[in-house]
Amino acid sequence: MTVSKKTFISKKHIRKNLRKNKAYWAALRAFYLAKSLSTGNSNFFLSDKQISNKVLA
C-alpha cells in the first residue's frame, strides 16, 4: 500500500512549523533573559554587581 503524497507533504509542513515555533519561543526566552541580566532586573541569576552589593550590605 502506498501513502498518498499529499498526506506526506502536509505532515512534513506541520512538523516543520512545530520546529520553527519551538525555536522561536526558545529564542524569545533567551532574549528576555539576556535583557533582564543586562538591566539588572533578573531574580534568578546574580551578577557580579549584585554579589558585591550583598557582600557590602
Q: What is the per-residue pLDDT across 2-11, written as a single tens digit (0 to 9) for each?
A: 666 666 888 8
Tell me which residue of 57, 30, 56 sits closest to 45, measured CA to CA.
30
For the chain, the average pLDDT equals 78
Contact present, 10 and 2 (Cβ < 8 Å)? no
Q: Residue 37 has what pLDDT?
A: 79
Cell of 5: 503524497
Contact present, 42 and 49 (Cβ < 8 Å)? no
Cell of 55: 557582600
pLDDT above 80: residue 53:
no
Contact present, 34 and 42 (Cβ < 8 Å)? no
Name the residue ranges covered by the structural domains of the chain.
5-56
Taking only the tens place, the pLDDT of each residue in 9-19 is: 888 899 999 99
Q: Tell me what percent of the residues of the chain surpass a pLDDT of 70.
A: 61
